[in-house]
Amino acid sequence: MSGIRILIVEDDPFIAMDIESAVSDELGEEAELVVVDSVSQARRAADQPVSCALLDIDVVGGKTFGIAESLRARGTPLVFVSGSAPNEVPPQLRDVRFVRKPFSADELGRFVAKAVNKA
């Protein structure tokens, strides 16, 4: 492995598979994909270095805003991938990229490729 670690937080297993597929299509075997469906699992996964993160907002156990703040404080590129409205994002996180579901696999792939190249 090249040390690329992508965190995907999504509680719908079919959407999680779509996101995994989009990232895998872009990065191939280079990346470790860490897929979790809850806030508690996301916190544990984010304790390890992450190259970038794709976060649904509403998952098992609550919202991912605290995880987003923690990742951003460490300089980790992230994007919200959510069916929620962008105005539901707290003001301090409104500069985080927001991709509305249903998403474009190409758009997510480009985000991850750009984020990893910066990392």
Structural domains of the chain sorted by starting position, each given as residue range(s) with its CATH number in brackets: 4-118 (3.40.50.2300)
Give the model confidence (pLDDT) of 66-112 as tens digits. 999 999 999 999 999 999 999 999 999 999 999 999 999 999 999 99
- Kind of pairing, strands 52-55 and 78-82? parallel
Give the model confidence (pLDDT) of 1-29 as tens digits. 468 999 999 999 999 999 999 999 999 88
